[in-house]
Structure 1
Amino acid sequence: MGNSRLVFGALRGAALTWRADLLAGLTLAAIAAPEQMATARLGGFAPSIGFYAFIAGALGFALLGANRQMSVGADSTITPIFAASLALIAPVGGPQYAALAALLALLVGLFMSGAGLFRAGWVANLLSTPVLTGFLAGIAVHIALSQLPALLGLPAGSGDTLQRVAQIAAQIGEIKALALSVGLVCLVSILVIETYAPRLPGALLAVGGATLGALLLKVDPSALPVIGAFPVEWPQLAAPEASVEQVFKLVGLAVILTLVIMVQSAATSRAYPGSSGEEPDINRDFLGVGAGGVLAGLFGAFPVNASPPRTAMVAASGGKTQISGLTAALALGLLAAFGENFLSHAPETSLAATLLFVAGRIFRLGDMRDICRRSRPEFLLMAITTAAVVLLPVQTGVTLAIILSLIHGAWATTQTDLQTLERLPGETVWWPRNPLVEGETLAGVAVVSFQAPLSFLNADRCRLQLQRAAEQPQMRLIVLEASAVVSIDYTAARALAAAIDHCHARGCDFAIARLESVRAQAAMKTFGVLDALGATDSIGERLFYSVDDALRRLGAQAFVRTGAAADGNVS
């Protein structure tokens, strides 16, 4: 009887999960359909290609990805990057353009798969939050400028940012009032629905309503331009045809896209791990996104990416497994196969409204304000990144954004200073010096800490500061509290050895305490720091488990009280 109840309970739980996944999948399809069409149009492709990109992303990720809720498909964050770059090589919308996009999808998919196989999840941290915020703001501006002509009923623009602005300004007298009105109504409808009824597919209702209205009222396409008929051919698995020269032309762009996709995919994995307390498997998710990219290339589509908003919708709708993503893929496949007659009447301005909504969502004004309030230098970095992505060719701007992020990280590491520590009275705790806090020191002894990994970036700064500490009057012992030194490279090790030799030359002893990192211990032995220190190859002479142990064994005497309550010598 008990076993029967267990089996019945398991079957009932599975049925509930399936039902929740199916409902979440249909909700996802309703959200994704207009978004994938609009993103395809943003890249210069037929709307059906956006559906194929979504199908490829969903199938690939369901096959190899770890996250149970992640949605992978066409994404407006990366589309402006590769569309602008491909347009410099081939005419937009032509056969060569489509072939290059498929080849790029294949390359990016292979790179993402390689990142997953070689566990390169750490690379996703190369873009700092201010730089990523500035990058997304720049992409939002590109999306807005590319969609403004459609919203206004004007011919599509081309060229760089300034050229697009000039083209819109020159055609301002040709705005189609009906197109603008329909686009604004769609945009406001999406905003209202997303704000007050986020579970409803706002974009689908807006685009579907505009399309239905255009059909019923038989609106003249000259007053309200529509998508028009587009080819619908079920994709067949085939490697894109390309020459070696074309592959080399796309490698640099593929690397940039891969890094951007890694950052967004990792952020999505961390934000929506699937179950409460479940640790995300970012490397396996990279493998799943890579598989989706490979399939997109074989389907003749374009690069795909993980989508935080769509993933959030799956989570909010109760999706528990990738069945929701597969359900949405099936729904979009049926829509591509049988919905062309209806979709061809979709007003261009309604799809423009969808993308303008997306642009507003990735233009993170709240984050910008927070960065400005808390760190003016990093706000300046964010602003420079935004300007670079907006004003320079997109690929160049994104490359510069990545370089700026790396330079900022390197600069922050080089600014790490040596901290002087004091012992809290009656304790064995050593803490950075603070004039408002009572502490204890020893005459002729400096206990210091360098609170960062030691590398070539800060090696010379560390050496100079240690040498200055040794040159203080009557300095006889320096103890480096090394609990924060988790690693040390060859350059920093040689600089530390030089600082130790300098101390010894001045008659100042040197010891290291609390070197807890096994990796740092091995590096100091290999790179000769222990030889300069006069220590054995294990914790021993001049290498101590604690600061107090070092002071006791090296003959340090009375402590001197410092800080707010200094009152003389303390034993």
Structure 2
Amino acid sequence: MAQPPATHTNWPIFRSLKAFRPSDLPGDLIAGLTLAAIAIPEQMATSRLGGFSPQIGFFAFIAGSLGFAMFGANRFLSCGADSTITPIFAGGLAVMATAGSPDYQSLAMALALMVGVIMIAGSLFKLGWIANLLSTPVTVGFLAGISVHILVSQLPGVLGLHTPDGPTLYKLGMLAKDIGQTNLYTLAIGLGVLALVAGSETISARIPGALIGLVAATIAVIAGHLESKGVNVVGTVPGTLPKPSLPDIAPERWVKLLSLALLIAVVVMVQTAATTRSFLSDRDKPADVDRDFLGAGAGSVLSGLFGAFPVNASPPRTGIVSETGGRSQLAGLVAAGIVLALLAFGATLLQHVPDAALGGVLLFVALRIIRLKQIVMIFRQSFYEFLLVVATAAAIIVLPIEQGVAVGIALSLLHGIWTTTRGRLVEFVHVPNTTIWWPAGRQVGGEPRPGIIVVGQQAPLSFLNAANFHSDVIKMIGASTPKPRLLVIEASGIVEIDFTAAQALHDLFRECREDGVTIAIARLESTRAQDAFERFNLYDVLPRDRVFHSVDEALRTLGGPA
């Protein structure tokens, strides 16, 4: 009986090929052909989105596929040029150089190398937790904002209008002003490709609607002599192959790129983690996120050496590999080989591809990444988090895009901090006819006990809430009638205690002792919290025999009624 492919953590490179069997070859070949058909138009379009010629997108795809196949763990993940990060780094690079210039490409190469190094460092230092920096509402808002950027950047090409420079809202205003000059041929091509891609996706994601659309649009341009009617085309695509080289930029410009590289790396980490967790190599084992960071990082390093830009994991392309029977990274290597062959022998086939067709592909990408269902769900279930969606999207649309992304990350962190600070003191009551003490609430028919207070903190105890915890306990003791003789802290929710919180507990234990109130800890279950009691010498002020496995045990031991 055939066994499922196993994860071999000790294999240094091409890990997904370790369990390869000859019977897997047909599935990988079919998946590779399908992936190439999807990737070719997408990589061309994404490259143009970033201000590069189409073959640079092919270089990025080849590098991303090879780098991830060598060092990544996921069997399905496709890595290459990605429309999520391209508008971000294109906006940052445009401030430093003119898009399309040699200087611009050198900066992009340097950025790819820096992002790759950061990703590799993230893998070596096990920084997979960074992928959790963006909450779901912030991620949804981030994608909505990126979508608007892509739509606004591609509409001029689809409409046959001049692309204005400036902020997104200014571009929208200029487009609205010039809408009457729309070229109907380019509009028909752009919307036709968009409809074809969307229709193909509706029928089956395996249908290469983008490639079919590009071929049909190219035939229409040639047959109808549409270039003479104002339809812009890609033009000559050099049949050059990627050759390793290093970017020639001054040292101080590397320093200027650092903040942008960190920003891009965080976004790549988030998307790589989400992709590899969505398409698991082995359903019985968790995703090896740190190893996949290494693969994506190696892809960006190779991309920089090949003269391209940072690469990222692609959820749609990864889904294609998984759905079409791919069994290993051989599928990605097959697709990369097809793209390489196109560069070497078929680049002239691309010169009549209309820009509007690439714009139509990107319009579909932009519409696909807007998560309308999630936005509606967040609005219905948590209005305050819906405001996070709106704020993040607005920041990315209104501000320079890299600043908007930074604001989104900051909002996510602030949201996490705010959530932690909301964890306030909770009073527990005794559930009749049991030994259970439960948080007081409308659905709990519990009862307090005279002279006994049982409280808990349902959040990590840290500098964010330590002062509130201390003051709330003191207030509860002061407001209790009669004065309590026993205070039990139910600590199951306290999974962490930092230095500031430990000092607050020191003070609380001392003040209770001076006030004649016996204090005990129950259910200190977290090993990190237990280590904190040892590390911060909390047992110097609270005897070890005052720490119990349950509230009931504490009451029985310290003389309280059971």
- Counterpart AA for 1:102: M
1:360-408 C-alpha deviation (Å, 9 max, x unpaired): 0111111110100000001011101100000000111011111111011
Does the 8 Å contact 1:470/1:506 carry over to 2? no
For residue 221 of structure 1, report the CA deviation from its aligned partner.
4.3
Tell me what 2:552 maps to.
548
* C-alpha contact (below 8 Å) 1:525/1:531 kept by paired residues: no
Q: Note the alpha carbon deviations across 1:255-314, whole angstroms, 9 max, x for none.
A: 000000000000001100123223210000000000000000000100000000100111
2:238 paired residue number = 231
Asked if the contact 1:470–1:503 (Cα under 8 Å) also holds between the matched residues in 2, the reply is: no
Query: How far is 1:504 from its partner?
Result: 2.2
8 Å contact from structure 1 (residues 41, 47) kept in 2: yes
Task: Say if 2:20 is the partner of 1:16.
Answer: no
Cα distance in 1 for partners of 2:442, 2:118 equals 53
Contact 1:449–1:480 under 8 Å retained in 2: yes
SS at match of 1:193: helix
Does the residue aligned with 1:421 lie in a helix, a strand or coil? strand
In structure 2, the partner of 1:186 is: 193
Cα-to-partner distance string for 1:455-478 (whole Å, 9 max, x where unaligned) = 111111111111122212221111
Q: 2:475 matched to 1:468? A: yes
Q: Deviations over 1:99-132 (max 9, x none)?
A: 0000000000000010011000001101100011
Once the two structures are TM-superposed, the CA of residue 95 in structure 1 deviates from its matched residue by 0.4
Give the aligned partner of residue 16 of structure 2. Answer: none
Q: Which runs of 5+ in 2 are unaligned?
A: 2-19
- SS of residue matched to 1:230: coil
Partner of 2:97: 90
The Cα shift of 1:440 comes to 4.1
Q: SS of the residue aligned with 2:448?
A: strand
Q: Once the two structures are superposed, what CA deviation does each residue of 1:168-223 show, in whole Å capped at 9, x if it has no partner?
A: 12322221011101111111111111102322111111111111222233323443
Corresponding residue for residue 508 of structure 1: 517
Alignment correspondent of 1:353: 360
Q: 1:109 to 1:221 in 2, by over 3 A?
A: farther
- The two structures, once aligned, show a CA RMSD in angstroms of 1.4
What letter is aligned with 1:309? Answer: P
Paired position in structure 2 for 1:492: 501
Q: Name the residue aligned to 2:537.
A: 528
Question: Residue 277 of structure 2 corresponds to which residue in structure 1?
Answer: 270
Deviation at 1:156, TM superposition (A): 2.5
Query: In 1, Cα distance between the equivalents of 2:504 and 2:367?
Result: 49
Match of 1:565 in 2: none
AA matched with 2:272: S
1:67-101 Cα distance to aligned partner (Å, 9 max, x none)? 00000000000000010110110011000000000
Alignment correspondent of 1:284: 291
Preserved CA contact (<8 Å) 1:207 1:350: yes
Structure 2 counterparts to residues 380-529 of structure 1, below 5 A: 380-471=387-478, 472-473=480-481, 474-529=483-538
Instruction: Point out the more displaced range, 14-23 or 366-375.
Output: 14-23
Residue 100 of structure 1: SS of its match in structure 2? helix
Q: Aligned partners of 2:474 and 2:214: how far apart in 1?
A: 69
Query: CA 1:368 to 1:51, structure 2 compared with 1: closer, same or farther past 3 Å?
Result: same
Once the 2 structures are TM-superposed, how far is the Cα of residue 509 of structure 1 from its aligned partner? 1.2
CA displacement at 1:167 relative to structure 2: 2.4
- Give 2:329's aligned residue: 322
- Secondary structure of the structure 1 residue equivalent to 2:226: coil
Q: How do 1:285-324 and structure 2 match up within 5 A?
A: 285-324=292-331
TM-score (norm 1): 0.93
- Take 1:262 and 1:155, find their aligned partners in 2: how far apart are those partners? 35
In structure 1, the partner of 2:9 is none
Q: Is the 8 A contact 1:481 1:547 kept in 2?
A: yes
Q: Give the equivalent residue in structure 1 for 2:12.
A: none
- Aligned equivalents of 1:217, 1:172: Cα separation in 2: 24
Matched, 1:151 2:158: yes
Structure 1 counterpart SS, 2:360: helix
Q: 1:38 aligns with which of 42, 45, 50?
A: 45
| Aligned-partner Cα distance in 1 for 2:442–2:164 | 62
**Contact 1:462/1:496 (CA < 8 Å) preserved in 2?**
no
Contact (CA 8 Å) 1:75, 1:307: kept in 2 or not? yes
- Secondary structure of residue in 1 paired with 2:300: helix
Task: State the alpha-carbon separation in 2 of the partners of residues 19 and 156 from structure 1.
Answer: 45
* Aligned match of 2:147: 140
- 1:191-230 matches, within 5 Å, as 191-230=198-237
Indicate whether 1:249 and 2:253 are aligned.
no
| Structure 1 stretches of 4+ moved >6 Å | none
1:520 & 1:216 partners in 2: Cα distance? 73
Q: Deviations over 1:207-248 (max 9, x none)?
A: 111112222333234432111113332111122222210100
Residue 180 of structure 2 corresponds to 173
Shift of 1:160: 1.1
Cα distance in structure 1, aligned partners of 2:549 and 2:441: 25
User: 2:64, 2:303 within 8 Å by CA — same for their partners in 1?
Assistant: yes
Moved more, 471-480 or 523-532: 523-532
Name 2:116's counterpart in structure 1: 109
For 1:370, which of 364, 377, 384 is the aligned residue?
Answer: 377
Distance in structure 2 (CA, Å) of the matches to 1:218 and 1:28: 31
2:530 and 2:292 mapped to 1: Cα distance? 34
Cα distance in 2 between the residues matched to 1:95 and 1:142: 24
In 1, Cα distance between equivalents of 2:521 and 2:84: 49
Deviation at residue 505 of structure 1 after TM alignment: 2.7
**Residues 1:219 and 1:435: Cα distance change in structure 2 (over 3 Å):** closer
| One-letter amino acid matched to 1:497 | H
- Secondary structure, counterpart of 2:541 in structure 1: helix
Q: Secondary structure at the match of 1:441?
A: coil
Change over 3 Å in CA distance of 1:436–1:23 after alignment to 2: closer
Asked if the contact 1:422/1:447 (under 8 Å) is kept, the reply is: yes
1:481 maps to amino acid: E
Per the normalisation by structure 2, the TM-score is 0.94
Cα 1:221–1:258 shift into 2, 3 Å: farther
Q: What residue in structure 2 maps to residue 58 of structure 1?
A: 65
Does the residue aligned with 2:364 lie in a helix, a strand or coil? Answer: helix
SS of 1:25 mapped into structure 2? helix
Q: Which amino acid aligns with 2:537?
A: G
| SS at 2:310 equivalent | coil
Is the 2:168–2:397 contact (alpha carbons within 8 Å) kept by the matching residues of 1?
yes
Give yes or no for contact 1:138–1:386 (8 Å, CA) kept in 2: yes
Distance across 2 between alignment mates of 1:24 and 1:16: 14
Q: Is the 8 A contact 2:236 2:348 kept in 1?
A: yes
1:526 is matched by which residue type in structure 2?
R
Q: CA offset at residue 354 of structure 1?
A: 0.4
- 2:128 aligned with 1:121: yes
In structure 2, C-alpha distance between the alignment counterparts of 1:428 and 1:50, rounded to whole Å? 66
